[in-house]
Amino acid sequence: MTTTHEYDVVIVGAGGAGMRAALESSQRARTAVLTKLYPTRSHTGAAQGGMAAALSNVEDDNAEWHMFDTIKGGDYLVDQDAAEILCNEAVDAVLDLEKMGLPFNRTEDGHIDQRRFGGHTRNHGEAPVRRACYAADRTGHMILQTLYQQCVKQEVEFYNEYYVLDLLLTEDPQAAAAGGEVAVAGVVAYELATGEIHTFRAKSVIFATGGAGKIFKTTSNAHTLTGDGMGIALRAGLPLEDMEFFQFHPTGLAGLGILLSEAARGEGAILRNSTGERFMERYAPTIKDLAPRDMVSRAMWTEVREGRGCGPHKDYVLLDLTHLEPAHIDAKLPDITEFARTYLGIEPYTDPIPVFPTAHYAMGGIPTNVTGQVLRNNTDTINGLYAAGECACVSVHGANRLGTNSLLDINVFGRRAGIAAAEYALATEAAPELPADAAAAVAGLVETLRKTTSVTGAESVAVLRRELQETMDRNVQVFRTAETLAEATAVIASVKERYASIAIHDRGQKYNTDLLEAIELGFLIDLAQLVVAGALAREESRGGHYREDFPTRDDAGFMKHTMAYATADGVRLDYKPVVVTRYPPMERKY
């Protein structure tokens, strides 16, 4: 059974980007938000440390310095026109949230307080600056709750636990004639509570589906971050941009990957090796522990490789808060310290915390312009299709995202996408007609998987997922070589071939998590292939992508964005230039 709905704007995803878009869109056009989770369970709520904006509440600061840090931090792969928008609109983005009621920490005179974060400096790298606006170490949680309250107040229509599985376009983007127009017609979703298929016809669609950290085993990402939106776009014939650039956050709890925010180092915590040395002084003499995340992660790995790791297996380093006052820790870092106590049995007042890099953030994603409109190649857009947040790549993060720029990104470009999508819908007389068999692909996928059993299918979803994640951890993490990437390529190809023979055990209609995980695995496999293919072709080191066999940055050969397409013959790579306006590439010292 298929139910059809019709809206002006459909937003897929109810995290920070999706709900910020919904607040703008729903003021202008009839809007629906589809989400496979209840909105306040979205992963924006896991973001801890802060949201960057040059408010100058605590120290002198300005948007130009913020822009420079964003570009330099992204190892010059940032599109500078987008970075300028991000930083110029940052102050209003924070003040908008304040007016909505977000309880930011305050200075003694009542202004929004700010603290230091990695890679954020004053005067073009002179010294660290206090730029991160924060609500203790629960900033993402507060943003998510605030935006949801505003959406409820504004009577935004939510379809909770609706898993979008297909994107409906008027024409295959790659089959369209050069310069020919392609438009969005809607999406198809699977209702988890009933097993029914729903078709949503719309003039505009916004993808805000989050990241894909679950391609790795050790990750700070929730189990639901399986790259669904990226995978749907890829299967619809769209390219994904810069997928080889994945950020590994330095301070995941050792062995678990659970995130300890950079806010700890922003408040004065120090990374130490087995000798007690503050080793970041050797790698980044000016800003030390607050260097960009890619640099800190490589430094930690290097300390372990060279025998200065801690613990019985010498496989982690220590995050030391013991020199900070307990009252200060409790006021500024309550969640971080509770995580250490709960998951490792460590008392942060008196003992350093074991930490090691964890897969954290995808810099790449669905390519967009600065209004959030999705590109179908290097230059042409799709009418009515938009994307924002971690699933998108407007390329404000380049090769390495600065901490606190993600919460800023979802608010600035979520807002822009919501406005643009609604304005396009209002200017469009009617959405394109849906094909008669609009839901056929999704219905076929669901029924095929539901009919498999352990008898007819020989492969386990859990086994294949584990093999995929382990090869990504082993071969495509902080350090990469042609040899490790070739091994990952072979393993992923094997997993993809065996995926055709998977079996699930639950054949029910309602809340079939077996079915859900099988579909998610398909997206993870597709995206892992793109990450590895892009990394193998990029024979240089830049930001989060570090090739030990090509250890230097190659601006002559690779100052360009990777555009990856899925074809019947495998991954096809194309490239497009980086937008450089004010800051040409220079040496990246801190």
Annotated binding site for FAD: 13-18, 35-50, 228, 390, 406-407
3 state SS for 507-544: CCCCCCHHHHHHHHHHHHHHHHHHHHHHHHHCCCCECC
Could you tell me which residues come within 8 angstroms of residue 545 by beta carbon, excluding any fewer than 6 positions away?
244, 245, 246, 399, 480, 535, 538
SS3 content of the chain, % helix, strand, coil (to 5): 35, 25, 40
Asked whether the beta carbons of 380 and 25 are under 8 A apart, the reply is no
**SS3 state at 171:** coil
Annotated binding site for substrate: 249, 261, 360, 401
Question: Among the options 138, 293, 298, 542, which is catalytic?
Answer: 293
> Phi/psi zone of residue 276: left (φ > 0), alpha (ψ -120 to 50 degrees), beta?
left
Q: How far apart are alpha carbons 154 and 512 in whole angstroms?
A: 32
Note the maximum CA span of the chain. Answer: 69
Q: What are phi and psi of 384, to 5 degrees?
A: 85, 0
Annotated binding site: 13-18, 35-50, 228, 249, 261, 360, 390, 401, 406-407
Print burial letters for 276-302: b (CB count within 10 Å at least 16), e (below 16). Answer: eeebbeebbeebbbbbbbbbbbbbbbb
How far the first Cα of the chain sits from its last, in Å, is: 59
Crossing angle for the helix pair 80-88 and 405-427, nearest 10 degrees? 100
Q: How far apart are alpha carbons 481 and 464 in whole angstroms?
A: 24
**Would you state the structure tokens that stand for residue 235, as one six-digit string?**
């299967």
Active site residue 450: no
Q: How far apart are alpha carbons 222 and 585 in whole angstroms?
A: 35
Could you tell me which residues come within 8 angstroms of residue 319 by beta carbon, excluding any fewer than 6 positions away?
251, 260, 264, 265, 269, 270, 271, 352, 353, 354, 355
Could you tell me which residues come within 8 angstroms of residue 140 by beta carbon, excluding any fewer than 6 positions away?
16, 44, 45, 46, 47, 48, 407
Q: How far apart are alpha carbons 4 and 202 in whole angstroms?
A: 11
What positions carry a catalytic annotation?
Answer: 293
